[in-house]
Amino acid sequence: MAIPIRFRTPDFRWFRTSLFLAQGGSVVVPIIHAVILYGLNVCYNIIAFKWMLSTILIYFVGAIIYGARVPEKLSPGSFDIWGSSHQIFHVFVVLACICNYY
């Protein structure tokens, strides 16, 4: 979504964030389907349900931090090089990937 120039503007930040959340949230349907088919106990113990839920939660928190521009908004100019919401977002993506690995 960042290829067209108009979507790179700050006006579309929440639109880009919602697309990321929709992509990450698309895993909810297969999870619900697995719970219906196999039951919550099997999903939790065998299919690594807790890691899937952890991944979803981490993606969600990272996307909200990115969309809200939390550090930059609280202290403008202090996070121009280190600690910007975009960098924090990428840290959360890496953490979610680690959860997917396990």
Alpha-carbon distance of 94 to 58, in angstroms, equals 10
Could you tell me which residues come within 8 angstroms of residue 24 by beta carbon, excluding any fewer than 6 positions away?
Answer: 55, 56, 59, 60, 63
The token pair that represents 72 in the structure block: 């930059």
- The conformational region for residue 82 under phi > 0 = left, psi -120 to 50 = alpha, else beta, is beta
Q: Is 86 annotated as a binding residue?
A: yes
Task: Please report, in range form, the residues annotated as the binding site for Zn(2+).
Answer: 86, 90
Task: Please report, in range form, the residues annotated as the binding site.
Answer: 86, 90
